Structure 1
Amino acid sequence: MSAFRSLSRVMIVTFLRDKSALFFVIIFPLMFLLLFGTLFKSASTPHAKIAQVGAVAVLDSVQGQGRDDLAKVLTISRESDEAEALRKVRKGDLDGLIEQDGSGTVLLRFSAADQVRAGSVQAIVNSLVQQANQAATGRPPAFTLKAVQVEDQSIKLIQYLTPGLLGWAIATGAVFSTALTLVTWRRKRILRRLRLAPVSVGSIVASRVGVSVLTALTQTAIFVAVACTPAFGLKLTGNWWLAIPLVICGTISFMSIGLLVGAVSKTEEAANGMAQIIVLPMSFLSGAFFSVDDAPSWLHAISEVMPLRHLVTSMQSVLTRGGGLGDALPTMGGLLLFAAVVTGIAWRFFDWDEA
């Protein structure tokens, strides 16, 4: 315990004195949260803009409260020049153009450049047409839909951004700190001195893991505290505390990747480059920055084998979607199993001395 405490204290002091490490591990990921959280803090459901050319009964017949509700999702501007309206649709200034001929056919023209906007416009107009048809028959609807959101009532993008960016920050910090520390210690012969000193390998490993876990938990506390401020408005679910064991297991998992990188790299530059090659693609393919649910099946299959994908998904579940132990335990077990396998591989390449 004495060796463990001494080594841990030295590692913490070294980390705090290294301004570049402190910036990239703590401040840099937080800057992403502040940037994306500020840019998208008012983002909600897509609001479409369409032009109406001439009389369109399905739009003109909507009055009163229905018109107010329609205005929340659709901005309608009247255009007299059809050619000019089409030019605005092609340019992207408008999401669609709607008009009606003498036979009652409603024609919607839209641009496929933005699939989300195009889908929203089609769905809204189709709903209006169906309502108009129902009203024309004079018969009450046979079925009604009551939609209830199962997650937290907030629809702010911060609910998605915080767990994803936090997972990315944990992965980046664990991989880079472990890999660069190992290479630096080997190059400066610190590993050789530790091996010859009356210090067990277990104490060395435990102190390194302990410092990395403490750093990750500090990252988590800062992220959640900032995201929960009124400026961003993150709303936590009742089982948010499950993020703590997830962070610990995730840190250990990504440390194993850093150990493998540090074991096969001979210089800090090589370790940094190899870590970048691993972490950056994994961050984008694992849903840390944006959802990959609609990605091609082959890309989705690759994402499923990445530990960051499962960490981010479970963090989203327990932090903002009301998930519980059933969502966290399988992920924690998988992360620890992944760590054991990768650590075993890294051990075969590990060398106490510089080659």
Structure 2
Amino acid sequence: MSAFLSLSGAILKGFVRDRAAVFFAIIFPLMFLVLFGGIFTDRGQSQLDLIQVGDVTLIDQLPAEARAAFEEVFTVEESTDRAAALDEVRQGDADVVVEMRGNELVAHYTRTDQVGAAIVQGTLRSFVDGANVAVSGQPPVFSFSSQAVEDDSLQTIQYVTPGLLGWAVAMSAAFGAAATLNGWRSSKLLRRLQLAPVGTGTLVSARVAVTVGIALAQMAIFLGLGAAAFGLVLTGAWPMAVPLLVVGTLCFMAIGLLSGAVAKTTEGAVNMANFIVLPMAFLSGSFFPLDGAPGWLQAISRLLPLRHLNDGMTDVMVRGEPWSAALLPMGVLAVFAIVVTALAAKLFRWETT
């Protein structure tokens, strides 16, 4: 135990004194959290910018109730210059230009924002249908209402935080393991430790303990800052995210060990870990959702360990899923860690050749 504590303290001091390691493990990921938090916090439902060219009878003659609903969706600006209005849409300064051609409402939109264009077309079509019903004098047969499945406390930042936290932990664990292994090997420290009266198990467990401790500190800082500054609210069986994060840390430590075992220099090991982790972050939904990605890309994403870490933490921290929702991701991450660690051990060499 004394050797374990001494080694753990030495490794932790080395981490704290390495400003670059602290920056990339703690400060750099927090910059993304602050960025996304600043973008999404207190952002209400944004209105669509609509430019009305000339007289648009359908809009001008909307009943009071329908007019109120229309103004909740659109910010209306009137214009007599059709060409200038179209240029505003083309340049992204407005969402749609509408004009009347007889009894036809014509909407001009830009193809560069396909999501916004779909919303504009669907919304305007619904108002046209409503106006047709009103003109016919026939009461509507069906009505519509919508309700979110989550409560009102749910904010966009809650979906952003698990993915950013998963990426931060993956990056820190992989880079730390890769740099440590290769650095110790290059400086002959591994050979000295091999000759010292310290077992390999003690050395490995000390490195694991420090890495897991850093990951838990990252989690505490992320969640604390998110709650204090951006209104993050944890739901469901969120404490289950702790063991899930621990297993995920071990998984990405294994990736770092593999990089350190294969590369001949510390810089090469870190670059190899970065080559693995950074694309994985984009393909695993750490920065943006993959719902609109092609099926083949989503299939690849499901093979990546970071995708399972992100999905598991989102389930138990945000979606209100029970603790059992974390079991499958933990199993996948554990199997991945075992396989990659075995491969790293097979490729490991005490000396650089």
TM-score norm. by structure 2 comes to: 0.94
**Per-residue deviation, 1:155:** 5.6
Q: Which runs of 5+ in 2 are unaligned?
A: none
**Match of residue 348 from structure 1:** 346
Alignment length (residue pairs): 353
Identity across the alignment (%): 48
Deviates more, 1:209-218 or 1:152-161: 152-161
Residue 169 of structure 1 corresponds to 168
Q: Helix, strand or coil: the match of 1:72?
A: helix
Shift of 1:223: 0.4
AA aligned to 1:291 is: P
Q: Which deviations, in whole Å up to 9, do the C-alpha atoms of 1:142-199 show, x marking residues without a partner?
A: 3333322113424633122211111110010000000000001111111112222222
| Map of 2:238 onto structure 1 | 240
Cα shift readout 1:23-69 (whole Å, capped 9, x = no counterpart) = 22111111221122113324344431111123333322335454344
SS in 1 for 2:78: strand
Alignment of 1:234-273 (within 5 A): 234-273=232-271
> In the aligned structure 1, how far is the partner of 2:27 from the partner of 2:329?
27
Letter in 2 for 1:97: V
* Matches of 2:304 and 2:345, distance apart in 1: 21
Q: 1:289 aligns with which of 287, 290, 314?
A: 287
Look up the match of 1:15.
15
AA matched with 1:262:
G
CA contact (8 A) 1:51 1:77 kept: yes
Matched residues in 2 for 1:348 and 1:72: separation?
Answer: 63
- Which residues of 2 match residues 181-200 of structure 1 at below 5 A? 181-200=180-199
Q: Any conservation in 1 of the 2:182–2:269 contact (CA below 8 Å)? A: yes
> Which letter maps to 1:33?
L
**Aligned-residue offset at 1:350:** 1.0
Question: Does structure 1 conserve the Cα–Cα contact (< 8 Å) formed by 2:236 and 2:319?
Answer: no
- Is 1:29 aligned to 2:29, yes or no? yes
Whole-angstrom CA distance in 1 between matches of 2:66 and 2:216: 49
**CA deviation after TM superposition for structure 1 residue 233, in Å:** 1.2
Take 1:324 and 1:288, find their aligned partners in 2: how far apart are those partners?
A: 22
Deviations 1:66-90 (A, max 9, x none): 4344323211111112222112221
Q: Are the equivalent residues in 2 in contact too, given 1:162–1:223 (CA < 8 A)?
A: yes
1:127 and 2:126 matched = yes
- Describe the SS at the equivalent of 1:147: coil
| Secondary structure of the structure 2 residue equivalent to 1:100 | strand
- SS of residue matched to 2:210: helix
**Aligned residue identity for 1:349:** L
Residue type at the aligned position of 2:127: L
CA contact (8 A) 2:53 2:80 kept: yes
Distance 2:189 2:70 in 1: 68
* Change in 2 beyond 3 A, CA 1:133/1:93: same
Please report how far the alpha carbon of residue 282 of structure 1 lies from its aligned counterpart in structure 2 after TM superposition. Answer: 0.9
- Secondary structure at the aligned position of 2:141 is classed as coil
Per the alignment, residue 75 of structure 2 pairs with 75
What corresponds to 1:156 in structure 2?
A: 155
Deviations 1:264-297 (A, max 9, x none): 0111111121112111111111110111111122
Residue deviations 1:283-318, cap 9 Å, x none? 111110111111122222221111111211222222
Deviations 1:193-251 (A, max 9, x none): 2222222222222111111111001000000010111x311121132212111111110
Q: Measure the CA separation in 1 of the matches of 2:61 and 2:251.
A: 59
Task: State the SS of the aligned residue for 2:198.
Answer: coil
Q: 1:302-313 counterparts in 2 under 5 A?
A: 302-313=300-311
Mark the runs of 5 or more structure 1 residues left unpaired by the alignment: none
8 Å CA contact 1:134, 1:141 repeated in 2: yes
Paired residue secondary structure (1:52): strand
1:333 has 2:337 as partner: no
Q: Supply the AA of the counterpart residue of 1:235.
A: V
Q: Give the equivalent residue in structure 2 for 1:217.
A: 216
Give the whole-Å Cα distance in 2 for the aligned partners of 1:198 and 1:143: 80
Report what 1:206 is aligned to.
Answer: 205
Counterpart secondary structure, 2:84: helix
Q: How many angstroms apart in 1 are the aligned matches of 2:160 and 2:75?
A: 28
Q: In structure 1, how many angstroms separate the alpha carbons of the residues matched to 2:232 and 2:66? A: 31
Q: Distance in 1 between matches of 2:195 and 2:54?
A: 87
Whether contact under 8 Å (2:154, 2:233) holds in the other structure is no
Distance (whole Å) between structure 1 residues aligned to residue 231 and residue 136 of structure 2: 46
Tell me what 2:138 maps to: 139
The alignment yields a C-alpha RMSD, in angstroms, of 1.8
Name the amino acid aligned to 1:21.
A
- Name the amino acid aligned to 2:232: L
Contact map agreement 1:256 1:343 (CA 8 A) in 2: yes
CA drift of 1:252 comes to 0.7
